[in-house]
Amino acid sequence: MTKSALQIERAKYAPKMPKALHGNVKIVSGKNTESIADQEEIKNLFPNTYGMPIVTFQESDVVKQLPVMNVGVILSGGQAPGGHNVISGLFDGLNKLNPKNKLYGFLGGPGGLVSHKYLELSAEIVEEYRNTGGFDIIGSGRTKLEEEDQYDKGLEICKELNIKAIIIIGGDDSNTNACVLAEYYLQKNAGIQVIGCPKTIDGDLKNEMIETSFGFDTACKVYSELIGNIMRDANSAKKYWHFIKLMGRSASHIGLECALQTQPNVCLISEEVAAKEQTLQQIVDELVKIISDRAANKENFGVALIPEGLIEFIPEMKTLIAELNELLAEGHATAEAFNTQVTDDEKRDYVISRLAIETSKVFKSLPKGIAKQLTLDRDPHGNVQVSRIETERLLIEMVEKRLSVLKKQGETKVKFSALNHFFGYEGRCAAPSNFDADYCYSLGQTAALLVAEGKSGYMASVQNTTEPSDQWIATGVPITMMMNMERRHGLWKPVIQKALVRLDDAPFKVFAAKRGEWAVHTSYVYPGPIQYWGPKTVCDASTKTLQLEKGKL
């Protein structure tokens, strides 16, 4: 593998850890826990993993002699910066516990466990990936572990390799599946522990016990650099509005964090749109007003941040998408009839004729290109693929249309030229920031200790992360503690509750207090690239979201 100068120097970086993880540790148990909601239902579904205590690791003078353990690790779902450091922390943690311990990586995600595809991770392999981005050490995948035959296939390979524990590194769905797997193996008395690690750049896997999901810090810094570059260009050319869609289908954490870092003229927050029950036209009217106000100040340029999942948070659009999902569901007669239509106009007319009256009005109001995107092939669950919908393009076209009407009425002379962007994959595999490198390495070490203590159905957690890293606290949190029952694809299922942007929390309140000023005045901040060497205030700082949540800003 050819390495750049940066990679060579970055490989030398020694991640910082909580003080307790540097030497011998003891485990301290707290009070028994319960799920955040639906306690009886969750308890009945998870009799072996429900109600366990939160555990904390503290310094100890006692040296423990531990037997040899073989452990498996899985990267699940989309990539996030820092995954390789979780694995290197896990590898080093297991080696410290007993040099004869072995770590096996299942290839291509959870599917590797089922198909028995694996790689023994040697010191030479792990060394190549320290402090690097991506998941390419073993690859990832989106296979969901939901069926007993999958669990049994996993059991077969674990017995063959003498694996005593599996670490699943993933988001809320992956960690939900980890807990289900832990419960199943305990019921079977299989002797296999399952531990989770919190990963997602979207930032929606967090709660009272999980302060942040890894990768969020790095991804937001990458996006903020790009946004700052565009802002500098916009402020130089002074003739374009840039509409930038950012990752975040289920929550707007990325958009909010990037707004706090860069101070754009507009940042839409999906959760606020839903709370206010705004229509698409109301959003467009707000954009037109800001564009007009800036034009009045002779600033015919600007930057607007748009969350990827916005369209599903607009009530009328949510209703439309639900009707389309039903109408175009695979195997339904209406879907088959739709596919027999030849031209795009015929397909459009067919859909309009089958929608409810109010919903059809919404569909007809959309630009034809966007309306077509809403009728494209569904995902494996039968839902519209939101990432394919150019929401930023939709808003541009509707703003142009509205301004055109106002011009004809003699109500405005605003010049509006817009460019659209989507920042997504650019941030998923970046070299992790110091924060994510340290945080992920600590998560891996914590996961190793949870295995050593015989725990299963736990998620590794590192807390107090706005303080210097030696003051961080390594803990294990029962996954059932984070669960509630939600309706998924027509069935009630136990899932880890997603963390949406809270409109009553400090990050949103600070943003809301400033956005009026940012809208009219050019107040751009240019964060620049991630810094790996230099002052701690520049290199080691966590996100503004986390600092505001902890009262540090």
Question: Active-site positions?
Answer: 202
Per-10-residue mean pLDDT of the chain, 553 residues long, equals: 89 96 95 96 98 97 90 97 98 97 98 98 97 97 94 98 98 96 98 97 95 98 98 97 94 98 98 97 97 96 96 93 86 86 92 93 91 80 74 95 93 93 96 98 98 98 96 98 87 94 98 98 97 95 96 92
Q: Which CATH architecture has domain 65-215+432-496?
A: 3-Layer(aba) Sandwich (3.40)
> What pLDDT does 326 receive?
86
Residue 487 CB: number of other CB atoms within 10 A?
A: 9
> What pLDDT does 381 receive?
59
Is residue 456 classed as helix, strand or coil in its secondary structure? coil
Q: Are 65-215+432-496 and 217-312+382-425+505-528+536-547 in the same CATH fold?
A: yes
d(C-alpha 281, C-alpha 268), whole Å: 14
Q: From residue 527, how far is each of 230, 257, 261, 424, 426 by CA, in Å?
A: 12, 12, 7, 18, 16
Domain boundaries, the chain: 65-215+432-496, 217-312+382-425+505-528+536-547
Beta bridge partners of 56: 28, 475
Q: Which CATH architecture has domain 217-312+382-425+505-528+536-547?
A: 3-Layer(aba) Sandwich (3.40)
> What pLDDT does 382 receive?
64
β-strands 241-246, 302-307 pairing = parallel
DSSP string, 250-301: S--HHHHHHHHHH--SEE--HHHHHHHT--HHHHHHHHHHHHHHHHHTT---
Residue 68 CB: number of other CB atoms within 10 A?
A: 13
